[in-house]
Structure 1
Amino acid sequence: MRVAGARLASSTLTANKSFLSDHRLNLKSFGLNNVNARTKFNQNLSLTTTTKRQMASAAYKPEQARVPPAVPLPTPPLTKFKIGLCQLAVTADKERNIAHARKAIEEAAQKGAQLVLLPEIWNGPYSNDSFPVFAEDIDAGGELSPSTAMLSEVSRRLKITIVGGSISERSGGRLYNTCCVFNTEGKLIAKHRKIHLFDIDIPGKITFQESKTLTPGETPTIVDTEVGRIGIGICYDMRFQELAMLYAARGAHLLCYPGAFNMTTGPLHWELLQRSRATDNQFGEVLATTEHEEAIIISEIDYSLVEMRRTYLPLEKQRRGDLYQLVDVQRLNSQ
């Protein structure tokens, strides 16, 4: 394939040389072989090419590729910051899990993390039997939600933003897989209920249905924090690129997907899906990774790199709004 590509490039270059040679011959035959005439011809040729490109760009209607139109990317509160990702082992002892998560958050903050993330369902086992047992009333708070009470206290004390992984939430007689986001004052500023429930059946390997116990969320979640505008998803939400594209259209600087992938599909898809969702929005480089054991990963986020890549490759101006649209139903209905 490389050889074919090289030959193609060579043939194209040869064809371009012939094209230029033909025009030089034409210029000479009409007596226009002086420098000024050549310059004027080249300017006209360049003008024609530019005009064609502008006409093509206008026909694409990129502003119509997202309905309503994309929100301009807001100026982030800061350009660079450290993020801490906590990978935790979970037991059937809820109090131990909460204390363990607290310690991990504190360690990440000590290493300079201004944003700390926890994994999916970190306060108890990931099973349909356990979801009701470990569920908390997040809205009531306090003793009825010791997991989020801890997150609130730690975020306020350490002055950090926390994307609190997820826990099972009990609300209105239903159970949800819910991620809570706390700001540096310890205030709950967003609550994302997992939209896409993980129902899978691979004979002889894995069968699991979240929908047997959990109720799907109804709202995409995007929140302004001290480290920028964040779009939130939970694990299986990452499979659906439309959600990530919607978050980008709402001006997200960062997408966070706490997860607990299984060991059947996880090794094949986990990193691939993360990079895919990042690449959808022009930034698919792996900055840090780890294996399957407990770990605390610290990495630096630099928003200027995203801006640079979007300047070099302006996908926003190249979307074919004349052919397809991403419709943000919630924003459309709220207008």
Structure 2
Amino acid sequence: MKVAVIQLCSGTEIAANIEACSEWVRAAAAQGAELIVTPEMTHLLQKDKASLLASIKSPEEDLAIKAFSALAKELDIDLLIGSLALQTGQKVSNRGYLFGPDGSTKAQYDKIHLFDAQVSDTEYYRESATYAAGRDPVIASAGDAKVGLSVCYDVRFPMLYRYYAQNGAQILSIPAAFTVPTGRAHWDILLRARAIETGSFVMAAAQGGEHEDGRKTYGHSKIINPWGDIVAELAHDKPGFVCADIDLGEVAKARQRIPAWSDRRDFKADIKDT
């Protein structure tokens, strides 16, 4: 199975972002990619709340959903849009979509863990002020693969990925818009840890570069095998894509060798100093 991750530097104009992403998706499909993953906030990166709310639409009206559904059908691929900002109520949803080769919506996933963090003395985020947290893990089929969906900050919560492994997921999709400070320190380590501890492939499509809204993201999109090896990578923060041929049989081999993904212990007793 050939897969690809797309790296973007999405701006504040939705139509331009759709066009830029579509060009990279077409290029990856031309190289034979059957499953393609794009980053978090594929169609809009806008940190100003008022401007964000003025730009986004409901799922029924969103231009990106229509465009990427049609693109998946045209190219006969599974296209996993890492996430889109959508107006779904009093708060915004950070929602990923998997479109099938017939253009249908196979699955959708709302980011569960919202990024409320201070990453440096001057840079902090409060996603919960704007976004509504999702509640449910989602596993979807892409070809012969079972894919566990997540978004960005979810990567710091390993129990989500253990759930995915225990329920048959072979690929973990981790699209992101990682900050530069946290990216340099944690991106590679966290992704490889999730692959190793679950014996899964990881597809991590990232935003990268300096965006129109003033934000800077880390990039370094990559594909990791179940043993924790990086099999394909964009070692920079520029737009582009990278493909890899993956063998889903490696998942079973890795999990048989080290079955930590299947073990579970609940520590309920008080832990006392000795």
Aligned equivalents of 1:127, 1:163: Cα separation in 2: 23
2:31 equivalent to 1:89:
no
2:145 equivalent to 1:228:
yes
Q: Provide structure 2 residue ranges, at least 5 long, that are not aligned to the other structure.
A: 200-225, 268-274
2:126 equivalent to 1:182:
no
Q: Which range moves more in the overlay, 270-279 or 121-130? A: 121-130
Which of 268, 272, 287 is 2:189 aligned to?
272
2:231 equivalent to 1:287:
yes
Which of 293, 310, 334 is 2:255 aligned to?
310
Aligned equivalents of 2:241, 2:39: Cα separation in 1: 11
Asked if structure 1 preserves the Cα contact closer than 8 Å seen for 2:119 and 2:181, the reply is no
Partner residue of 1:131? 52
2:117 equivalent to 1:200:
yes
2:119 equivalent to 1:119:
no
Q: Scaled by the length of structure 2, what TM-score is found?
A: 0.82
Q: Identify if the C-alpha distance between structure 1 residues 86 and 205 changes in structure 2 by more than 3 Å, giving closer, same or farther.
A: same
Shift of 1:300: 1.3
Letter in 2 for 1:252: A
Partner residue of 1:60? none
Asked if structure 1 preserves the Cα contact closer than 8 Å seen for 2:119 and 2:182, the reply is no
Superposition map of 1:127-166 within 5 A = 127-129=47-49, 130-138=51-59, 140=60, 144-166=61-83
* Percent identical residues: 27
Partner residue of 2:208? none
Shift of 1:324: 2.9
Q: Identify if the C-alpha distance between structure 1 residues 285 and 100 changes in structure 2 by more than 3 Å, giving closer, same or farther.
A: same
Bigger Cα Rg: 1
Shift of 1:281: 1.1
Cα deviations across residues 288-313 of structure 1 (Å, max 9, x unaligned)?
11111111111111111222222333
Aligned equivalents of 1:219, 1:112: Cα separation in 2: 32
Letter in 2 for 1:100: A
Letter in 1 for 2:266: Y
Q: Provide structure 1 residue ranges, at least 5 long, that are not aligned to the other structure.
A: 1-80, 326-335
2:25 equivalent to 1:108:
no
Aligned equivalents of 2:167, 2:190: Cα separation in 1: 21
Q: Identify if the C-alpha distance between structure 1 residues 109 and 281 changes in structure 2 by more than 3 Å, giving closer, same or farther.
A: same
Shift of 1:172: 2.9
Shift of 1:126: 4.0
Letter in 1 for 2:69: S
Aligned equivalents of 1:313, 1:195: Cα separation in 2: 28
Cα deviations across residues 217-239 of structure 1 (Å, max 9, x unaligned)?
11111112224111000000111
Partner residue of 2:18? 98
Q: Which range moves more in the overlay, 300-309 or 150-159? A: 300-309
Letter in 2 for 1:110: A
Q: Identify if the C-alpha distance between structure 1 residues 146 and 271 changes in structure 2 by more than 3 Å, giving closer, same or farther.
A: same
Shift of 1:240: 0.1
Please give the secondary structure, in 2, of the residue aligned with 1:287. Answer: strand
2:246 equivalent to 1:301:
yes
Aligned equivalents of 2:31, 2:130: Cα separation in 1: 38
Please give the secondary structure, in 2, of the residue aligned with 1:308. Answer: helix
Partner residue of 1:240? 157
Q: Which range moves more in the overlay, 288-297 or 128-137? A: 128-137
Q: Scaled by the length of structure 1, what TM-score is found?
A: 0.68
Cα deviations across residues 178-201 of structure 1 (Å, max 9, x unaligned)?
101111111011111000000112
Shift of 1:89: 1.5
Aligned equivalents of 1:268, 1:202: Cα separation in 2: 11
Partner residue of 1:259? 176
Aligned equivalents of 2:151, 2:120: Cα separation in 1: 25
Aligned equivalents of 1:132, 1:217: Cα separation in 2: 19
The 4+ residue runs of structure 1 with deviation greater than 6 A are none
Say which structure is richer in helix: 1
Count of residues in correspondence between the two structures = 238
